[in-house]
Amino acid sequence: MSKNTEQYYNEFSKWYENQRHRGYHAFLDDMELKIAAPYVRGVEVLEAGCGTGLILKELATLATRAEGVDISEGMLEKARERGLTVHKASVTDLPFKDGSFDTVVSFKVLAHVPDLPKAIEEMARVTRPGGHLVLEFYNKASWRYLVKRLKPAQKVADGTFDTEVHTAYHSWDDILGMLPSNVKAVSREGIRIVTPSYHPFSLPVVGPLTCKLEELASASPLRRFGGFLIGVFKVN
C-alpha cells in the first residue's frame, strides 16, 4: 500500500529527527552543506523541501535571505519552531514570482516527486538568470540503489514504512534529459560512494574512518557512483 507524499511526511515528521544529529545523517547533512556553500554564501536562497529546517537553519547563516517550502505541515511546524521563514507548498508549484532567488537547493526530496521535470522547471523559474540550482537525486549507479532493491522495508513512523512513498532513482543522463533549455550542468557531485550500509557511520572508531573514506571518495572521480548524486546547474 502507498500513501500520498504529504501524508507520508506528516507521519514521518514525528520521528524524523530521532537520529539526525549524529552518525550517518549528520555526515550527509555536512557534506550537502559543503557542496552548497559556495552557491549560497551572500545571496538569496530557497530550499525546496526544507523538512524540519535542519539544513535551512545552516543556510540561513550563510545567505542574505533564506526561505523554505515543504509539503508537510508536520515538518514545517518544527522548522517554524526554529524561527525559519517557511511556506507550505509543493516543489511543482512554488508560491514565488519568476526570478525570486539567486540559488535554489533541494536535498533528499526530488527522488520522491513523481513529476520531476515539472519540479526542476519550477525551481529554475524562481531562480534569477545567472543563478544556480543545487539539486540532489538518488543514483541508479550506486551501492545504495542495489541495497535498497534487496533489503526489506524500514519503519519510519508508527505504521509507516519507507516503501510507502514514491521513490525513483536516476542516472546522470536521465537528469540531463529533464533540464529545461535555459538550465545547464556545471558539475556533478556524489555522497556515500563506497559504503553499502549506513551502519558503520555510527560505530566507535570505525565511524570517523568511514566518514574520512567517504570524503576522499567524494573528491575523486568515484563521486559519479555516489548514492546521493548532486548536480549543480546554472540558470541562463
Which CA distances in Å does 31 have to 35, 64, 197? 6, 21, 17
Rounded CA separation 172/46 (Å): 23
Residue pair 187/35 in contact by the 8 Å Cβ criterion:
no
**Which pTM value belongs to this model?**
0.88
pLDDT tens digits in sequence order for the chain, 236 residues long = 344 565 655 555 555 555 666 688 889 999 999 999 999 999 999 999 999 999 999 999 999 999 999 998 988 999 999 999 999 999 999 999 999 999 999 999 999 999 999 999 999 999 999 999 999 999 999 999 988 877 665 644 445 555 566 889 999 999 999 999 999 999 999 999 999 888 898 899 999 999 999 999 999 999 999 999 999 999 99
CATH architecture of the domain 5-235 equals 3-Layer(aba) Sandwich (3.40)
